[in-house]
Amino acid sequence: VTLLLFARRRPIGLLSALGGSSLAIYLFHGFAFYAADFIQRSAHLVLNRGSHYGMSLACGLVLPLVGERLLRLSAVGRRLFLGER
């Protein structure tokens, strides 16, 4: 399956978007994952392990992307959190 991804000539938009934001995902996924975990457990929303883990995983991927976009709006956010000028 991995070879099929690399054998393809056209770039895959989703993978390039995730690759461009990989630093933000790496830095912030823990906060988003555990925040989603805490919210689900405290609100008693855990129906089964699969849906609980899937929701936490989705939040761990999506929320860092949203956070990165918000931090890029501010010069201070870019400098302090993303290490950019």
For the segment 1-39, what is each residue's pLDDT rounded down to a tens digit? 566 666 666 777 788 878 888 888 888 888 999 998 898
Q: In this structure, how many other beta carbons lie within 10 angstroms of the beta carbon of residue 36?
A: 20
Identify the residue whose tokens are 């870019």. Answer: 78
The amino acid at 22: S
Identify the residue whose tokens are 């461009």. Answer: 20
pLDDT score for 81? 83
pLDDT score for 9? 67
Q: What is the mean pLDDT of the chain?
A: 84
Q: What are the backbone dihedrals phi and psi of residue 43, each rounded to the nearest 5 degrees, phi first?
A: -95, 5
Q: In this structure, how many other beta carbons lie within 10 angstroms of the beta carbon of residue 50?
A: 8
Confidence of residue 52 (pLDDT cuts 50, 70, 90): confident
Give the distance, in angstroms, between the CA of residue 18 and the centroid of all CA atoms in the same chain. Answer: 8
